[in-house]
Amino acid sequence: MIVQLFEGIGSGTSIMIFVTIMLIILSSWSIQRPKNMPPGPIAWPFIGNIPSFFGKSSLKVLTDFSKVYGDVYTLKLGNRYVVVVNSIESIRETLVKQPVEFAGRPRLYSAELMTDNYKDIVFSDYSPIWKLHRKLASAAIRNYASGSHLEKLVDGIKPKLDAALSEKGNSAFDPKLIIGYGVYNILASMCFGIEYDFDDPDFKKLMNMLENITDVFGEGLMADYIPGLRHIPTPGLRNVQNLFSEYLAMIRKEFKRHQDNFNPDEIKDLTDFVLAAQQEAVEEGNDNIADLSDDYLVQTLSDIFGAGSDTTTTTLLWSIATLVDHPDVQAKVQAEIDEVIGRTRSTNLNDRGSLPYTQATIYEIMRYGIVAPVAVPHRTISECTFGSYRIPQDTWVLINLYAVHNDERHWEDPHEFRPERFLSDEKCQVERPDSFLPFSAGRRVCLGESLAKSEIFLIFTWLFQTFMFVKPTDMENVKTAEPQADSGLIHIPKPYKVLVEKRF
Ligand code: HEM
């Protein structure tokens, strides 16, 4: 039949039949899942399961599929197979038991644009260069952004936060700008030794840029799933390119300023720290000098600044929202801080063990708000297994942390806010259940976990020691801590307003 078709290929009907047959062959090939992969919904030709997400919350779609196909299932996004992991048990089987195999990162066009061709930590593949920069960033944070260094950085911003909150008087306000100001300034001092004024246009521009970047990564570019689209220069793509280059230009400017004034005997911040590592490599004639080039170091700093800002700000915004919804919890936190710390001194990091209820409340906020609902996409770097299933090399893997933190098999009434679930029976000790993984797990576990937990503890305890947050009277019957519909990469609360009163 095919021969006859070619013989009569000049006629219009034959061409149509030929094209139809080729389309059918191509489509069935494109929807066929490789043998033994985890099950999943039937995919459309070429676009796969992308239409399942149109107009719906992607977290809900991802989580609902797990109820039909199990804890680990396969989707097709464009021309890509994507395995979705939805429970603590399946995270153990994958990220924890096969850590290296699952430690790759997909090549996303959006990431390529942002990271100067994958010179960063977050999106670069599992490789010696990734390890080198992860180690360098961890050492920088350990030396210049933990313990008393971090306490000093947080203390430095308190007077401005205090003034900004105190001047709100009786007017209801959205705390996003003030909290964002505090967190961004701590990071800016930590990374670059700079501090912005509240009304500094550069600060507002930076905050907008980072929010927009988070949105881009949350929504992804179609070219991430359908690679051919990267060659179509749409206005949307150009906007994204401009956004990324503007953000990187800001980091490069600070990096250059540090290079021009660098004094190895006076390391003041993380930029000085990475420059010192570069200088040492040059002086010692190390083989890895090229891997510590300026471009790589700029990306390492951009990651610390970028990954640490919106995640921490959003956790604090969930904190205020949940505690105005639960004034009883707010009162207990304040009573514990008053009793253990008093009102004349601020908390320090050594106080964490003596404030179990407060610490349990922070953990419950992290579970309930789950700021990073899906980990940064992983990729299998070799063939892996999950039970009797096979996951081929180069498969994308999504870790659905939202599903893990709302799994009824591990959390009783997961949609309720209950700090007590993190307390021992005697209520005097914090207990961290195994299924609590807001920072993910395995080789790509959040690099800033310890920094984030310390920083959030210091800001949170100061906020609620110093202020009482309440709902505006016209909002008394409205829930404040509601997620914004499809907030993407970062799970943010809907914008809300509160009233604030100084406690003493
Ligand atoms: C509440 C705050 C935070 C949360 C909930 C959070 C959560 C996460 C999650 C879920 C991942 C993905 C892990 C994976 O791919 O499996 C991640 C990666 C990462 N985070 Fe965080 N993060 C927070 C704060 C921070 C801070 C303050 C920093 C600053 C250093 C940071 C730096 C990073 C980096 C560099 C990665 C990429 C690690 C890699 O690919 O090797 N994060 N984070």
CB atoms within 10 A of CB 164: 18
Which tokens in the block code for residue 373?
A: 């609902």
Q: What pLDDT is recorded for position 21? A: 55
- Spacing of C-alpha 296 from chain mean position: 21
Do 75 and 28 share a structural domain? Answer: no
Q: What pLDDT is recorded for position 228? A: 80
Do 59 and 27 share a structural domain? Answer: no
Do 133 and 21 share a structural domain? Answer: no
**Is the pLDDT score of 145 beyond 70?**
yes
In angstroms, the CA 76 to CA 225 distance is 10
In angstroms, the CA 381 to CA 247 distance is 31
Q: What pLDDT is recorded for position 352? A: 97
Q: What pLDDT is recorded for position 149? A: 96
Q: What pLDDT is recorded for position 22? A: 53
Average pLDDT of 101-107? 96
For residue 141, name the pLDDT band (cuts at 50, 70, 90): very high
**Is the pLDDT score of 15 beyond 70?**
no
Q: Rounded to the nearest whole angstrom, what is the distance from the C-alpha of residue 477 to the centroid of ligand 1?
A: 35
Q: What pLDDT is recorded for position 20? A: 56
Which atom from ligand 1 is nearest to the alpha carbon of 455? 27
For residue 10, name the pLDDT band (cuts at 50, 70, 90): very low
3-state secondary structure of 172: coil
For ligand 1, pick from 142, 154, 439, 490 the residue to mutate: most ligand atoms within 8 Å of CB: 439
Q: What pLDDT is recorded for position 7? A: 40
pLDDT tens digits for range 342-392: 999 999 999 999 999 999 999 999 999 999 999 999 999 999 999 999 999
In terms of Cβ atoms closer than 10 Å to its own Cβ (0-12, 13-18, 19+), residue 333 is buried
In angstroms, the CA 278 to CA 107 distance is 27
**Is the pLDDT score of 9 beyond 50?**
no
Among 359, 354, 461, 450, CA closest to 146: 450
Please work out whether the CB of residue 448 comes within 6 Å of at least one atom of ligand 1.
yes
Residue identified by tokens 């992991």 is 85
Report in angstroms the alpha-carbon separations of 232 from 220, 242, 283, 490.
16, 16, 45, 28
Residue of 374 and 77 predicted with greater confidence: 374
Please work out whether the CB of residue 377 comes within 6 Å of at least one atom of ligand 1.
no
Q: What pLDDT is recorded for position 473? A: 93
Which tokens in the block code for residue 159?
A: 């007077």
**Is the pLDDT score of 140 beyond 60?**
yes
Q: Rounded to the nearest whole angstrom, what is the distance from the C-alpha of residue 306 to the centroid of ligand 1?
A: 10
Q: What pLDDT is recorded for position 486? A: 66
**Is the pLDDT score of 182 beyond 90?**
yes
Do 9 and 87 share a structural domain? Answer: no
Q: What is the DSSP letter of 290?
A: G
Average pLDDT of 106-126? 92
**Average per-residue pLDDT for the chain:** 91
In angstroms, the CA 122 to CA 83 distance is 20
Q: 301-320 burial string, b = 16+ CB within 10 Å, else e?
A: bbbbbbbbbbbbbbbbbbbb
**Through-space distance between the first and last CA atoms of the chain, rounded to whole angstroms:** 89
CATH of the domain at 465: 1.10.630.10
For residue 47, name the pLDDT band (cuts at 50, 70, 90): confident
**Strand 499-502 and strand 72-77: pairing?**
unpaired
Q: Are 47 and 79 contacting, i.e. CB atoms less than 8 angstroms apart?
A: no
Do 65 and 21 share a structural domain? Answer: no
Number of domains in the chain: 2
β-partners of residue 194 are none
For ligand 1, pick from 96, 133, 446 the residue to mutate: most ligand atoms within 8 Å of CB: 446
**Is the pLDDT score of 471 beyond 90?**
yes
**Is the pLDDT score of 8 beyond 50?**
no
Do 274 and 226 share a structural domain? Answer: yes
Do 17 and 46 share a structural domain? Answer: no
Q: Rounded to the nearest whole angstrom, what is the distance from the C-alpha of residue 447 to the centroid of ligand 1?
A: 5
Q: What pLDDT is recorded for position 34? A: 82
* Minimum mean pLDDT range among 5-19, 102-116, 216-230, 447-461: 5-19
Q: Which runs of E-coded beta strand occur in 65-216?
A: 72-77, 80-85
Please work out whether the CB of residue 376 comes within 6 Å of at least one atom of ligand 1.
yes
Do 23 and 66 share a structural domain? Answer: no
CB atoms within 10 A of CB 50: 17
**Is the pLDDT score of 227 beyond 80?**
no
Sheet of 72-77: strand order equals 72-77, 80-85, 396-399, 378-379
Q: What pLDDT is recorded for position 151? A: 98
Please work out whether the CB of residue 371 comes within 6 Å of at least one atom of ligand 1.
yes
Do 476 and 435 share a structural domain? Answer: yes
Q: 4-17 burial string, b = 16+ CB within 10 Å, else e?
A: eeeeeeeeeeeeee
Q: Are 61 and 374 contacting, i.e. CB atoms less than 8 angstroms apart?
A: no
Residue of 256 and 79 predicted with greater confidence: 256
Do 13 and 41 share a structural domain? Answer: no
Please work out whether the CB of residue 452 comes within 6 Å of at least one atom of ligand 1.
yes
Residue identified by tokens 């040059």 is 282
3-state secondary structure of 423: strand
Residue identified by tokens 């030794």 is 193
Average pLDDT of 113-129? 94
For residue 3, name the pLDDT band (cuts at 50, 70, 90): very low
Do 148 and 115 share a structural domain? Answer: yes
Q: What pLDDT is recorded for position 1? A: 36
β-partners of residue 389 are 386
For residue 206, name the pLDDT band (cuts at 50, 70, 90): confident
Share of the chain above pLDDT 90, in %: 74
For residue 237, name the pLDDT band (cuts at 50, 70, 90): confident
Q: Rounded to the nearest whole angstrom, what is the distance from the C-alpha of residue 438 to the centroid of ligand 1?
A: 9
Rg of the chain (C-alpha set): 25
Which tokens in the block code for residue 91?
A: 């995270």
Report in angstroms the alpha-carbon separations of 453 from 211, 214, 443, 461.
21, 21, 19, 12
Do 388 and 369 share a structural domain? Answer: yes
Q: Whose alpha carbon is nearest atom 6 of ligand 1?
A: 439
Residue of 55 and 29 predicted with greater confidence: 55
* Minimum mean pLDDT range among 209-218, 272-281, 444-453: 209-218
Q: What pLDDT is recorded for position 347? A: 97
DSSP per residue over 142-166, as a string?
HHHSSHHHHHHHHHHHHHHHHHHHH
Contacts by 354-360, CB closer than 8 A, 24 or more apart: 355/461, 356/423, 356/427, 356/428, 356/429, 356/430, 357/332, 357/333, 357/419, 357/423, 357/427, 358/333, 358/460, 358/461, 358/464, 359/422, 359/430, 359/457, 360/419, 360/420, 360/421, 360/422, 360/423, 360/430
Q: Rounded to the nearest whole angstrom, what is the distance from the C-alpha of residue 18 to the centroid of ligand 1?
A: 51
Q: Rounded to the nearest whole angstrom, what is the distance from the C-alpha of residue 446 to the centroid of ligand 1?
A: 3
The half-sphere exposure of 500 on its side-chain side, counting CA atoms within 13 A, is 22
Q: What pLDDT is recorded for position 273? A: 97
Average pLDDT of 317-337? 98
Please work out whether the CB of residue 446 comes within 6 Å of at least one atom of ligand 1.
yes
Average pLDDT of 475-481? 95
Domain carrying residue 22 = 1-32
